[in-house]
Amino acid sequence: MKQFETFGLDTSNECLWRNSVQIALPPKPFAVLRYLVENHGRLVTHDELLDALWPETFVQPQVLRTYMLELRKVLEDDAKNPRFIQTLPKRGYRFVAQVTDSPSTSASPAPAAEAPVPVLAAIPAAIVDRTSELARLQTHAQRAAGGHRQAVFVTGETGIGKTALVDAFCRQMGSAASVARGQCVQGFGRDEAYYPVMEALGQLCASADGELACRALARLAPAWLAALGRAPASADGFSARSAPQERLLADLCAALEEMAAEKPLILAFEDLHWADDSTLDLISTLARRRAPARLLLLATWRPHDASSRHRVKELKQDLLVRRLGAEIELAPLARPAVKQLLARELGQEALPPELGEFIHRHSEGNPLFAIAVLEHLIAQGILAREGANGESRWQQRAPFAEMEAAVPGELAQMIELEVERLSEPEQRLLEAGSLMNVAFPAWAVAAALEIDVAQAEEACDELARRVHFVNRAGEDELPDGTRSAFYVFAHEVYREVLYRRQPPSRRARSHVRIAERLGRIFAGREATVAREMAMHYEAGGDWQRATLALRSAARHALERRALAEAEELLQRAVHVAENLPEAERKPLLAQVQRELAAMRQPSAGSANPAEPAEKA
């Protein structure tokens, strides 16, 4: 455990603590913070960080800036007067706080509670690494059992395990409470009043505690019982479909509170971002009523879902501010937890070497993504069962690097559905951003779509406020002194799906436009971005300009005495030039080969390693 001020960096479990409270931190920002902390007191250059965390991968330096912004927000650090991370312009970063080592066990205590929380059952096998979250839910359940009604929002990105956590908690509760769950459904569910409420009431009436539920509804909310088909409609024609909203809410709240008086009641609603207004009114009313009630309201919610409305966010924030609710935000799984998840899925403790590391890197700790990548490895035959006589085990049959870049099918379909909910201009906007990298600047989107930069930035800002998989990450200063906002995809798989859904011809034209805009932005200094320009020209099929840009990048590398990098770039230029027609290819290849030969030839009688570079 690395301690600095009130923070503890648990390197064994890959999590951050502050005053015994765990802070959600995704894998990449955690890795950046860990590297800085472990190298505290000295300058860590941009190149060193990129090489350490993204070996053998070309990543834009903007990504580092994105993670620094996220870390400073978590650490409440001021870039102008840093307590933790000092920025050294155009050089790198230095972790300036004092760091001490302490035992890991001291910084990860169980969450505080008003009273001891009984362990109701073992953690179910279907969930991993959610011990503290389950303990917090148990704490809220105990408070509810004492008559203090509770409202808890379980939040997180798609596939992070919100439903799995609620499932595990409800199984742990067993018969200690009545449980009713309703599913909010995208589309028609939002248009039908009380859709998930009716589902939850139907479950209650059909459960082991159904007699209690029906008795309470019959006495206090007969219209609801009639709507469930369990009693005749009232004589005055009052029904759950046509009655005044105020009377419906008051009757149902009274009935639910009577049920909870005899046995604690857990009322859970899944995917609140798709809830109808009437359901939100019920949750708000139940949470705000002042009478004691042995009632626990649970709601899962994706805060930045594309179809989310501000009302859900406002409801949650208002309940939190008034101390009438709580939020449990699920963080990605740490590396040990991903390995535990894989061991469970494969049914064996000993995993093939590097499997856990590979899947953790490609899933970034998202359980749904991790399982999708695992299934993709199996489908491609990279993982296979070997052995006989009941002793078969999963073994690696090919290098993981040979896995096709395509996103696993079911995962790609899920992301496609999210993207298709957006308007066509918004889809084109995100597709243009995917042409860069996980991080993308507004000017590149403008170049790809041939629109004004200010227009692109405004559209990206609006989209980042509404969708969960794109965030504004900061601003970049361009060589001419202007500033351009840049954005980041929450996960590489979103970028990959958006990139591959574009027609190849449109994608190629957009890559060339980005390369041309990059050249204009850095006019007079093109060599500093020549490698990136070459990447876009090559992706756009402009082999001539891609080769020229690679040669320019190689010359720039030689000026920096980076001989190995220069040779790699020239070798790439040879490979790219092979795509040209013979009349163009031959003279260009001859020039590149001469440059390679001059660079490789040592200067006679000289011990200066820079002379071959100067000769080249």
Residue 242 pLDDT grade (very low, low, confident, very high; cuts 50, 70, 90): low
- pLDDT, mean of residues 584-601: 85
The beta-strand segments (E) located in 331-480 are: 383-386, 393-396, 439-441, 470-477
- pLDDT, mean of residues 534-560: 91
Give the residue from 212, 115, 217, 126 showing the smallest Cα distance to 165. Answer: 126
- pLDDT, mean of residues 222-242: 68
- Which residue(s) pair with 386 in the sheet? 393
Per the structure block, which two tokens stand in for 320?
């939190």
Query: Are 2-105 and 405-502 in the same CATH fold?
Result: yes
Which pLDDT value is given to residue 611?
52
The answer to whether the CB of 479 falls within 8 A of the CB of 522 is yes
Mean pLDDT of the chain: 83
Kindly report, residue by residue over 358-376, the tens digit of the pLDDT: 888 888 888 988 888 888 8
Residue 255 pLDDT grade (very low, low, confident, very high; cuts 50, 70, 90): very high
% of the chain surpassing 70 pLDDT: 86
Residue 62 has pLDDT above 80, yes or no: no
Which pLDDT value is given to residue 388?
65
Phi and psi for 24 in degrees, rounded to 5? Answer: -65, 125
The answer to whether the CB of 184 falls within 8 A of the CB of 304 is no
Which pLDDT value is given to residue 243?
57
% of the chain surpassing 90 pLDDT: 36
Residue 415 has pLDDT above 60, yes or no: yes
Give the residue from 371, 329, 231, 259 showing the smallest Cα distance to 251. Answer: 259
Residue 159 pLDDT grade (very low, low, confident, very high; cuts 50, 70, 90): confident
Residue 428 pLDDT grade (very low, low, confident, very high; cuts 50, 70, 90): very high
Residue 448 pLDDT grade (very low, low, confident, very high; cuts 50, 70, 90): very high
Query: Which CATH number fits the domain 2-105, given the four candidates 3.40.250.10, 1.10.10.10, 3.90.1010.10, 3.40.50.150?
Result: 1.10.10.10
Give the residue from 411, 406, 333, 364 showing the smallest Cα distance to 24. Answer: 333
Tokens 């479990």 label which residue?
A: 13
Spell out the CATH class of 405-502: mainly alpha
Give the residue from 212, 230, 201, 133 showing the smallest Cα distance to 172. Answer: 133
- pLDDT, mean of residues 405-425: 80
The answer to whether the CB of 498 falls within 8 A of the CB of 430 is yes
Kindly report, residue by residue over 166-178, the tens digit of the pLDDT: 999 999 888 889 9
Domain 335-396 indexed as CATH 3.30.499: no
Residue 585 has pLDDT above 90, yes or no: no
Residue 109 has pLDDT above 50, yes or no: no
- pLDDT, mean of residues 70-98: 86
Which pLDDT value is given to residue 308?
47
- Which residue(s) pair with 383 in the sheet? 396
Which pLDDT value is given to residue 563?
87
Task: Kindly list the domain boundaries of the chain, sorted by start residue.
Answer: 2-105, 131-329, 335-396, 405-502, 503-616
Q: Which residues fall within 8 angstroms of residue 188, CB to CB, at 6 or more apart? A: none
Neighbours of 340 (CB within 10 A): 17
pTM for this one? Answer: 0.66
CATH second-level architecture of 131-329? 3-Layer(aba) Sandwich (3.40)
Tokens 């970034």 label which residue?
A: 364
Kindly report, residue by residue over 293-349, the tens digit of the pLDDT: 999 999 998 876 644 456 888 899 999 989 999 999 998 898 899 999 999 888 888
Give the residue from 473, 112, 536 showing the smallest Cα distance to 553. Answer: 536
Kindly report, residue by residue over 499-543, the tens digit of the pLDDT: 989 999 999 999 999 999 999 998 888 888 899 999 999 999 999
Per the structure block, which two tokens stand in for 482?
């202007």
Which pLDDT value is given to residue 106?
41
The answer to whether the CB of 514 falls within 8 A of the CB of 440 is no
Tokens 């060599």 label which residue?
A: 527
Q: How far is the first Cα of the chain from the last one, in angstroms, to the nearest whole number?
A: 50
DSSP conformation class of 553: H
- pLDDT, mean of residues 490-497: 85
- Which residue(s) pair with 151 in the sheet? 297
Which pLDDT value is given to residue 57?
59
